[in-house]
Structure 1
């Protein structure tokens, strides 16, 4: 028996951040998730949860 086909119904984006230690990568990621959650109803990830 085969699996049911997975249908992607939401836009999906992977964002990678690179840079030196203590240059704000986690802060930037938290800010992006907050803005995107407010704009499109996604789940906000707090700074401490990243």
Structure 2
């Protein structure tokens, strides 16, 4: 089964999580991946508390 990791690098609060969610949505629409909602990407308690993403999906 093919597997792809996506890493997004950028400044704080510049849409990295939004971009990653959009990429998974487009791939899901094409049947190539499972869409991951914006709020599912920032799962760790520290991320939710601080409103940041520490690790990528």
Q: Give the TM-score normalised by the residue count of structure 1.
A: 0.70
- Rg larger in structure: 1
Q: Which consecutive residues of structure 2, in runs of 5 or more, have no partner in the other structure?
A: 42-57
Which structure's relative contact order is higher, taking Cα pairs within 8 Å and 6+ residues apart? Answer: 2
| Structure with the higher helix share, 1 or 2 | 2
Q: Which consecutive residues of structure 1, in runs of 5 or more, have no partner in the other structure?
A: 1-9
User: What is the alpha-carbon root mean square deviation over aligned residues?
Assistant: 1.2
What is the number of residues matched between the two proteins? 41
